[in-house]
Amino acid sequence: MQNNNTHLIYPELSYKINGALFKTHNEIGRYGREKQYGDLLEKIFKELGIQYKQEVRVGDTGNIVDFVVEGKIILELKTVRIITKDDYYQVQRYLQALNIKLGILINFRSEYLQPKRVILIDKFFKKNTKEKISRY
């Protein structure tokens, strides 16, 4: 069987993060608070030996990223009824500010967990087209 993951950004690390997300969701359920999910994820990351920084300040904007995993992936946690385009824009702004290629947006309120990958859009591309930032 041929490996189709050749174009994915950080496939192995993403897989480990997703496993931790599903384990967290299975343990707490869908009606926890964001802090509960973050605390359990931190514990799981330590158990798996995954390096991370929690609550990373984004420059002087006052914004805080939930997790930066191994300096490669932004992990943004939500506990809302639905994810909106503003949530994707938020992750894209974090990617731009921190110059990180990949973000994972997760809504723990969902009955079925669906991690969303958000890819860094090149600043040149964004400035020179009329297209809006879209989710990936």
How many Å apart are CA 107 and CA 86, to the nearest integer? 13
User: What's the full length of the chain, in residues?
Assistant: 136
Mean pLDDT of 14-22: 97
* pLDDT value of residue 69: 98
Task: Answer yes or no: is pLDDT of 128 > 60.
Answer: no
Give 19-52 as a DSSP string.
HHHHHHHHHH-SS--HHHHHHHHHHHHHHHT--E
User: What's the distance, CA 124 to chain centroid?
Assistant: 23
Q: What is the pTM of this model?
A: 0.85
Domains of the chain, earliest start first: 9-127 (3.40.1350)
Give 101-119 as a DSSP string.
SEEEEEETTSSS---EEEE
